[in-house]
A and B are shown apart, each in its own frame.
Chain A
């Protein structure tokens, strides 16, 4: 048993399946032999049946030729008889060949061959030639009688052969059934034995190894792995599993050391292809570097945490200051908002004023147009006055001439008076009355002269006055012209002023709108400042929390430093 167990699995399979196969081969050979014998007997039986049929046909042909006297049919039947004779010889030979190793049948064949030889000779030598000669009665006599007895004996022999062959085939079949049953039972028993053995020796240990592998697969490394002392593949597999568990345990131990912080060890490489070992080697190397860098980083982090703590303290102070500044800014924005309201009201009033100013300037422009028209009328009237003055001047000149004439007349009258006085003086006493008259005439002449002088004086004054008036009207005309121009310029200026005022009005409207928007914007700024104020307070709160958080980070950094010191590199 132990030797069988220590055999290789392929050998075991070969042994088991080989036995069963041998039994199957025996069974097969026996089946072949039985089938061959049965088939041989069947063929013999068939040949005997064919020989009997041949004989029957031969006999039928003879009888047909005896009954019918048709020459054509007779010739065809004779030919058929010959072929039947050949076939009967061939069937006899075949039968002898088949039954070569069967003496009982051979003896039957010999018994059949003797009458057949007589039957064929008689037929060919008597019956057929008689039929050909037309002596049918002779032929009939030859054919019946002895010949018929031979025929019946031959048929009986052939039937005996056929029955003997069938009996032998049945016998053979019965023997084969018994043999097949015995050998089949033995083969079945051997196969069942093999299945039981293989299950016992291969499948059961494989199942236990599979359970171990499944435990390993979920991470359980079993301590009590039994190493079976078997030399076959199953035993080798169990030993390989034991070695694998051992190496995995080593790796697990090493990993536990790493987990405990000991990074100084090196894993043993089980072979050149130890992937896990190399990975552990690389891992410890990388972990050493990483822990070194981590320690440095923790130092930096600790220092940074201290700085952050300081900075957050400053930040908290700054946030407080910012909150104060935001409060002040909010107040300022409120003041700005009030100022914007005032400026908005002012802008509205300026807009209204500009509107009124635009209307006033429009009125001024119309007034200027009226003024220009009035100036034009004044111009025309001044022209009329100038014309009147010119006429007055001319008429005063005419008056002057008249006065000159009167003056001349006065002078002449005076001279006449003087001469009259002289003549009166010459006349002596008689001329005294005349002298008085002359004196009176002279007095009149003097008075008229004085009057003309006065008239002249007045006239000169009039002329001066008219000249001055003409000059004044001239200047007035110029002044009116200039005034008209100035009025036009004033009109244009007022127009420009009106345009400017309209622009100013529009600008004021825009300013009003802008200041409205500004007011809205300042309101938004105020609300934004309120939000900023809240945010600043939150900022301040956050800065305080940040300060605490920074302190926590600082503590964390120190803790991390202590933790990093636990690692031995």
Chain B
């Protein structure tokens, strides 16, 4: 008797777990003013996000051509549909561990007037909507380039980057002179 009841209970629990797993929460219709549409991507173990308004496209990293005598964050150039895109590695700025470049990397191409800048992304998670109030300002203790690029951070520890600032960063303007 006990076994049959326990078996029945077990079956019920299993079925409930499966139902919970398969259940999709009904998403409320997003409000444009309240929501921020971002492209979420990963660098190392951390998650970062960029506003889709500033993102031109996402492409897999193919045929990266390294350029000599450039700063280390500039990993090289990529040819995308007739355009040259400079690939910037943000991990150099955020002091994140380096794992090398593979075909699995993606390039997030940002819109800029003079030239396109591609941010190297380890993983692309997709586009999602973030409530604006969910994005909290960064901690005041942060300084340096992190403070400059950060727009906010969510409770889910997704770092929302400020794309215009990154694009405006003069450091990305490569001097023609060769640094010693």
Q: What residues of chain A have their CB less than 8 Å away from a CB belonging to chain B? A: 411-412, 414-415, 417-419, 421-423, 425-426, 435, 438-439, 442, 446
Contact of B52 among A414, A415, A422, A446 (CB under 8 A): A422
Known: A425-B53, A442-B126. A418 touches B37 (CB 8 A): no
Residue of A nearest to B54 (CB): A422
- Asked whether, in the complex, the Cβ of A419 is within 8 Å of the Cβ of B57, the reply is yes
Docked pose: A421 CA to B128 CA in angstroms: 9
- Asked whether, in the complex, the Cβ of A422 is within 8 Å of the Cβ of B126, the reply is no
Known: A421-B52, A422-B57, A425-B52. A415 touches B37 (CB 8 A): no
Residues of B within 8 A of A439 (CB): 127
Residue of B nearest to A442 (CB): B126
> In the complex, what's the smallest C-beta–C-beta distance from A122 to chain B, in angstroms?
230
- Asked whether, in the complex, the Cβ of A415 is within 8 Å of the Cβ of B59, the reply is yes
Docked pose: A56 CA to B104 CA in angstroms: 224
- Asked whether, in the complex, the Cβ of B60 is within 8 Å of the Cβ of A418, the reply is no
> In the complex, what's the smallest C-beta–C-beta distance from B28 to chain A, in angstroms?
14
Contact of B106 among A415, A417, A422 (CB under 8 A): A415
Contact of B60 among A411, A421, A425, A442 (CB under 8 A): A411
Docked pose: A423 CA to B127 CA in angstroms: 11
> In the complex, what's the smallest C-beta–C-beta distance from B160 to chain A, in angstroms?
15
> In the complex, what's the smallest C-beta–C-beta distance from B64 to chain A, in angstroms?
17
Docked pose: A426 CA to B104 CA in angstroms: 26
Docked pose: A426 CA to B127 CA in angstroms: 13
Residue of B nearest to A445 (CB): B126
Fill in one digit per residue for B84-120: 1 if any A CB lies within 8 Å of its CB, else 0.
Answer: 0000000000000000000010100000000000000
- Asked whether, in the complex, the Cβ of B124 is within 8 Å of the Cβ of A421, the reply is no
Fill in one digit per residue for B2-16: 1 if any A CB lies within 8 Å of its CB, else 0.
Answer: 000000000000000
- Asked whether, in the complex, the Cβ of B124 is within 8 Å of the Cβ of A418, the reply is yes
Residues of A within 8 A of B60 (CB): 411-412, 415
Residues of B within 8 A of A419 (CB): 57-59
Known: A422-B39, A422-B58, A425-B37. A415 touches B124 (CB 8 A): yes
Known: A415-B106, A418-B39. A425 touches B59 (CB 8 A): no
Residues of A within 8 A of B127 (CB): 418, 421-422, 425, 435, 438-439, 442
Docked pose: A423 CA to B53 CA in angstroms: 9
Chain B binding surface SS class = strand
Contact of B126 among A412, A418, A425 (CB under 8 A): A418
Which interface residue of A411, A412, A438 has the most chain B CB atoms within 10 A?
A411
User: Is B56 close to A, CB under 8 A?
Assistant: yes
> In the complex, what's the smallest C-beta–C-beta distance from A456 to chain B, in angstroms?
14
Docked pose: A421 CA to B38 CA in angstroms: 10
User: Is B130 close to A, CB under 8 A?
Assistant: no
Residue of A nearest to B56 (CB): A422
> In the complex, what's the smallest C-beta–C-beta distance from B42 to chain A, in angstroms?
13
> In the complex, what's the smallest C-beta–C-beta distance from A310 to chain B, in angstroms?
108
Known A425-B127, A442-B126; 19 more pairs at CB < 8 Å: A411-B60, A412-B60, A415-B59, A415-B106, A417-B126, A418-B124, A418-B127, A419-B59, A421-B52, A421-B127, A422-B57, A422-B58, A422-B127, A423-B57, A425-B37, A425-B52, A426-B52, A426-B53, A446-B126
Docked pose: A442 CA to B126 CA in angstroms: 8
User: Is B166 close to A, CB under 8 A?
Assistant: no
- Asked whether, in the complex, the Cβ of A414 is within 8 Å of the Cβ of B39, the reply is no
Docked pose: A346 CA to B127 CA in angstroms: 97
User: Is B158 close to A, CB under 8 A?
Assistant: no
Q: What residues of chain B have their CB less than 8 Å away from a CB belonging to chain A? A: 37, 39, 52-53, 55-60, 104, 106, 124, 126-127
Docked pose: A488 CA to B52 CA in angstroms: 77
Residue of B nearest to A446 (CB): B126
- Asked whether, in the complex, the Cβ of A418 is within 8 Å of the Cβ of B53, the reply is no
Known: A412-B60, A415-B60, A415-B106. A422 touches B124 (CB 8 A): no
> In the complex, what's the smallest C-beta–C-beta distance from A370 to chain B, in angstroms?
48
The contact sample of 30 A-B pairs, CB cut-off 8 A, is A411-B60, A411-B104, A412-B60, A414-B126, A415-B58, A415-B59, A415-B106, A415-B124, A417-B126, A418-B124, A419-B57, A419-B59, A421-B52, A421-B126, A422-B39, A422-B52, A422-B55, A422-B56, A422-B57, A422-B58, A422-B127, A425-B37, A425-B52, A425-B127, A426-B53, A435-B127, A438-B127, A439-B127, A442-B126, A442-B127
Residues of B within 8 A of A418 (CB): 39, 58, 124, 126-127
Residues of A within 8 A of B58 (CB): 415, 418-419, 422
Docked pose: A439 CA to B126 CA in angstroms: 9
Docked pose: A214 CA to B52 CA in angstroms: 193
Docked pose: A525 CA to B104 CA in angstroms: 106
Known: A422-B39, A425-B37. A414 touches B55 (CB 8 A): no
> In the complex, what's the smallest C-beta–C-beta distance from B126 to chain A, in angstroms?
5
6 cross-chain pairs, A with B, having the tightest CB-CB distances, nearest first:
A421-B127, A425-B52, A418-B58, A419-B57, A422-B52, A422-B55
Docked pose: A431 CA to B52 CA in angstroms: 13
> In the complex, what's the smallest C-beta–C-beta distance from B47 to chain A, in angstroms?
15
Residue of B nearest to A415 (CB): B58
Docked pose: A438 CA to B128 CA in angstroms: 12
> In the complex, what's the smallest C-beta–C-beta distance from A401 to chain B, in angstroms?
15
Docked pose: A417 CA to B125 CA in angstroms: 11
Docked pose: A328 CA to B148 CA in angstroms: 125
Docked pose: A438 CA to B52 CA in angstroms: 14
Residues of B within 8 A of A422 (CB): 39, 52, 55-58, 127
> In the complex, what's the smallest C-beta–C-beta distance from B121 to chain A, in angstroms?
11
Residues of B within 8 A of A438 (CB): 127
Docked pose: A417 CA to B128 CA in angstroms: 12
Docked pose: A202 CA to B53 CA in angstroms: 213
Residue of A nearest to B106 (CB): A415
Residue of A nearest to B111 (CB): A426
Residues of A within 8 A of B52 (CB): 421-422, 425-426
Docked pose: A435 CA to B128 CA in angstroms: 11
Residues of A within 8 A of B59 (CB): 415, 419
> In the complex, what's the smallest C-beta–C-beta distance from B123 to chain A, in angstroms?
10
Residues of B within 8 A of A417 (CB): 126
Which interface residue of A411, A422, A426, A435 has the most chain B CB atoms within 10 A?
A422
Docked pose: A38 CA to B22 CA in angstroms: 220
Residues of A within 8 A of B56 (CB): 422
> In the complex, what's the smallest C-beta–C-beta distance from A541 to chain B, in angstroms?
101
Residues of A within 8 A of B124 (CB): 414-415, 418
Docked pose: A457 CA to B134 CA in angstroms: 37
Docked pose: A412 CA to B106 CA in angstroms: 11
